[in-house]
Structure 1
Amino acid sequence: MDAPEGIQQPHLVLANKLFLLTHPDVQDIEKVRLKEEVLEAVKTNDMAPLFETLVGQSLLDKDQNFSESMGSKIEEELKKLDEKIADAEENLGESEVREAHLAKSLFYIRIGDKEKALEQLKVTETKTVAVGQKMDLVFYTLQLGFFYMDFDLISKSIDKAKSLFEEGGDWERKNRLKVYEGLFCMSTRNFKKAASLFLDSISTFTTYEIFPYDTFIFYTVLTSIITLDRVSLKQKVVDAPEILAVIGKIPYLSEFLNSLYECQYKSFFSAFAGLTEHIKLDRYLHPHFRYYMREVRTVVYSQFLESYKSVTIDAMAKSFGVTVEFIDLELSRFIAAGKLHCKIDKVAGVLETNRPDAKNALYQATIKQGDFLLNRIQKLSRVIDL
């Protein structure tokens, strides 16, 4: 079941194909090819449980003979695995018993039987002593979680891994966990934490089983752009040698990052338009597509307005290579949502920034926290009086 080093796990490759097969923006001719590849993967790995699910979703055509053939192969393989477990328990040592149980766990993962795979992984854990090997079982569980996008399972597995590290654990597995947790954070819209974890893992990345290094850099740049300040973006992303070595291989990504930092807004919007298709067709980013689009535009508009006390709408529209009407509508929405600190003088055709004063903001925060503290003290005094 282990993929060779540097190769993505086959079932996660399959998960991406299944996602694209159900995506409305993927062309029908492409879906025909994807359907053939999915069926081939199901046949190769005897994925009878997954086949039944896909038939139920009308993604694959029902084939009784095919189902029965896979079922008989699975029964035969399970019989061999059970015999191997029994032999190990009777004649061999604890290490061989664990390996036999692990083989059965990986078999259930391979055929796409989630519930039985999780049960067998728990059984394998009872036969496992070393912390590192227990961590490996958690990684298998996490891969299952990402295949089914089961965020509850992923969250619990990450917590379990962290508690295991309190008992020990090596540096390489700790770094691998950062990437898994970063992917979980990105998938659940916690882009700030995802960016931090990805940036920590750039020079130590070995987690090829969940995605290639190019994809990792793609996620790192996208999450960093909407969460890092300008100085941090320059230090950690724009000038990072690991990112510079790869970013040119990903269409539009280099222009997207550098044009933002260099304030070339027309080029930025052009690159952003090119990237939207990539983001929309990404399995982990797709649910957050609209949110990410808004956040990126908030960042770029805020950066532009930072340089001005006031600026004409016409000048801003020309800088971004769009119409005055488009900018007017865009800014109206962001101002109403409290995302931008400025106001539009429609008569004069001017934007006036009204950035909140830092001292005033600190004063308001102090008053708010002071009121909260007084309320807590009053509640406490009533309890003490009783």
Structure 2
Amino acid sequence: MSFLSNNVEPMQLDAVEDIELFEANEIPNASVNDVLDRSVESAPFEVESYAAQYSGFAKLSRLLYIADHCPPLQIEALEQALKYVKESTYNVNAYTTIQQKLVNALTASGQTAKAEQYPLDTVWIDEKSKMSQIYFEKLDTDLKNYKTNSIKESIRRGHDDLGAHYLQCGDLSNALKCYSRSRDYCMGDQQLFNICMNIIKVSIYQKSWGHVNSFAQKAESSPECSANSTAQTKISCIVGLHELVTKRYKYAAKRFMSANIDDLGPDFSDILSPNNVAIYGGLCALASLDRSDLHKHVFLSPNFKLFLELEPQLREAIHKFYESKYPVCLSLLDELKDSFMLDMYLAPHLTALYSKIRNRALIQYFSPYLSADLRLMATAFNTSLHDLENELMKLILDGQIKARIDSHNKILYAKDSDQRLETFEKSLAMGREWQMRATSLILRAACVRNGLIFIKAGPNNASSKAAEEAPSSAGNNVAACSPSSPNKPRV
């Protein structure tokens, strides 16, 4: 979204950037298919109530994503985005682009009269451009004065104010630079944490996930995060988002489920909403956790249960999955799929998550039986016999289901397993491993005792003791090695 950058003249500083800016496409394990355009042909929610959950640049980004991927909601999303830009930002470039998109959409849908209600407001453009430049010059002058007077706290505030102004103008790169420069002038743990949060926020907007991970680790290791539950919750959600984007769904689920809903106030709505935490955590838990972990981290968790109250249909789907009512669970998830597809962070991973959930349901459905009728399974999972056989074949080849398919009679048979034999084989393998480790320890102890291995003396280990023991071992016809005898073996 190049139009979200405004052409405000950057402030000239003689400081050299010590931060590496990651490109937006540096996502580990990401494939080209993850960024393909997706289109939703239904209207799964009201745009106004959805946009009310967010603030700042996150609100604008999500509205534009909906406009680009959902034709039925395109006009409403563009109207909300245009209203937000005019009322809350200095982003002139975004305004002109959104206005043009809105007029084109209204014209294409035959609403020519309504399109005339959204003319290009040149007065607003000139006014906001002048105000932005005046405010920028004021902040620039104040920062130069602070640097002249060498007031560290004022210099830090000056960089933060400039970063916030650049963010209001849609200039993410300069906002990130200003927030990064303020690190050199922080004077406490709270300030350091706030700086990390500002950098993380802008990096999320840029989708620089390597940058997000780096500063999330710094913020999590700070004393402020250790002592403040609100800070811990924010960092857990940010790390969970990073794990989701990098396809580490199990770690993402545990991060989201460790959050506390009381700690996610309005100041976090420019990154994620509590509904996002419920959706991301719930889907990742279904896709990656087994029944015991699902019961422990979801149903017995007082914090995450409050998040799920915000998404009652997803909560019901999780309960049905745990109760082994898989057809009902999958049906509920299919009903939610369109709304999930309009989430800019979740959409690229939705197909993979739904596939993992379905595979886990198939595995747990068959686990209590010795044989199962494929026709009944196909009916239960709302699929054809051919597609079900293909799904089961992949699970069998991956070793997730120990079974074989009778394609003629359409029956799935569990492989016969002798649990007594398996237990004996496991015991023998553990015994061989223990014997190998014990032999290795005895051999190493003998080598150390006879001077074939030199151990570096620590601060509490006198090297003279080893030197005194070397002659005695030599008297026992054992060749002791020393650094001065290169012809002798040294391990």
Q: TM-score, normalised by structure 2?
A: 0.65
Q: Is the 8 A contact 1:312 1:349 kept in 2?
A: yes
AA paired with 1:124?
S
Superposed counterparts of 1:254-273, under 5 Å: 254-273=315-334
1:21 aligns with 2:67: yes
Asked if the contact 1:49–1:113 (Cα under 8 Å) also holds between the matched residues in 2, the reply is no
CA deviation vs aligned residue, 1:22-61 (integer Å, no higher than 9, x gap)? 21xx12x421122222233333301146558x58x97898
Give matches, 1:143-154, under 5 Å: 143-154=201-212
Superposed counterparts of 1:1-386, under 5 Å = 8-23=54-69, 26-27=70-71, 29-44=72-87, 45-48=89-92, 50=94, 65=122, 69-89=127-147, 93-165=151-223, 170-202=228-260, 205-206=263-264, 208-209=268-269, 210-250=271-311, 252-336=313-397, 338-354=399-415
159-168 or 140-149: which moved more? 159-168
Contact 1:310 1:351 in 2 (8 A): yes
> How many angstroms apart in 2 are the aligned matches of 1:367 and 1:332?
35
Q: Distance in 1 between matches of 2:381 and 2:230?
A: 44
Following the alignment from structure 1 to structure 2, what is the Cα–Cα distance between the partners of residues 338 and 345?
18
Distance 2:230 2:313 in 1: 32
Q: CA deviation at 1:257?
A: 0.4
What is the CA distance between 1:12 and its match in structure 2?
A: 0.8
Q: CA deviation at 1:133?
A: 0.8
- Alpha carbons of structure 1 residues 367 and 135: separation in structure 2 relative to 1, 3 Å: farther
Deviation at 1:115, TM superposition (A): 1.5
Matching residue's letter, 2:259? S
- Cα distance, 1:63 vs structure 2: 6.4
8 Å contact kept, 1:217–1:247: yes
Q: Residues of 2 paired with 1:182 and 1:140: CA distance?
A: 17
TM-aligned CA distance change 1:361 to 1:32, over 3 Å: farther
- The offset of 1:7, in angstroms, is 6.6
Aligned residues: 365
Once the two structures are TM-superposed, the CA of residue 98 in structure 1 deviates from its matched residue by 2.5
Residue 102 of structure 1 contacts residue 121 of structure 1 at CA under 8 Å; is this kept in 2?
yes
Letter in 1 for 2:230: E
1:118 alignment partner AA? L
Output the aligned Cα RMSD. Answer: 3.7
Mark the CA change 1:159 to 1:246 in structure 2 (over 3 Å): closer, same or farther: closer
Unaligned stretches of 5+ residues in structure 1: 1-5, 375-383
- Give CA deviations for 1:342-381 in whole Å, capped at 9, x if unaligned: 221112221123498876689899999x9xxx9xxxxxxx
Shift in CA distance, 88/169, structure 1 to aligned 2, threshold 3 Å: farther
- How far has the Cα of 1:72 moved from its partner? 2.7
Amino acid at match of 1:225: L
Distance in 1 of aligned mates of 2:235 and 2:368: 40
Distance in 2 (alpha carbons) for counterparts of 1:82 and 1:322: 64
What is the Cα deviation at residue 182 of structure 1?
0.8
Aligned AA for 2:156? R
Secondary structure at 2:405 match in 1: strand
Amino acid at match of 1:83: T
2:166/2:172 contact within 8 Å kept: yes
Greater mean alpha carbon deviation, residues 85-94 or residues 341-350: 85-94
Kept after mapping to 2: 8 A contact 1:344/1:350: yes
User: Which is richer in helix?
Assistant: 1
Is residue 193–residue 224 contact of structure 2 (8 Å, CA) maintained in 1?
no
CA distance, structure 1, for counterparts of residue 379 and residue 173 of structure 2 = 57
Question: 1:344 aligns to what SS in structure 2?
Answer: strand
Query: What secondary structure does 2:61 align onto?
Result: helix
Give 3-state SS (helix, strand or coil) of 2:259's partner.
Answer: helix
Using the aligned pairs only, state the percent identity: 19
Amino acid at match of 1:32: I
| Aligned amino acid, residue 47 of structure 1 | N
What per-residue deviation string (whole Å, max 9, x for no partner) do you get for residues 214-263 of structure 1?
32122211111122220121122134334444535425212210111111
Decide whether the 8 Å contact of 1:131 with 1:169 is kept in 2.
Answer: no
SS in 1 for 2:413: strand
Higher radius of gyration, 1 or 2: 2
| CA 1:143–1:294: 2 relative to 1, 3 Å | same
What is the letter of the counterpart of residue 56 of structure 2?
Answer: P
CA distance, structure 2, for counterparts of residue 167 and residue 181 of structure 1: 13
1:177 CA displacement: 1.1
State how far apart, in whole Å, the 2-side matches of 1:235 and 1:101 are: 45
**Equivalent in the alignment of 1:377:** none
Specify every segment of 5 or more residues in structure 2 that has no aligned partner in the other structure, as ranges: 1-51, 105-118, 441-488
Please tell me whether the aligned partners of residues 50 and 113 of structure 1 are also in contact (alpha carbons under 8 angstroms). Answer: no
Contact 1:181 1:197 (8 Å CA) reproduced: yes
User: Distance in 1 between the 2:426 and 2:340 partners?
Assistant: 36
Q: Which amino acid aligns with 1:309?
A: L
Between 274-283 and 188-197, the greater mean CA deviation after superposition: 274-283
Greater mean alpha carbon deviation, residues 162-171 or residues 344-353: 162-171
Measure the CA separation in 2 of the matches of 1:187 and 1:251.
24
Q: Distance in 1 between matches of 2:188 and 2:283?
A: 37
Contact 2:240 2:256 in 1 (8 A): yes
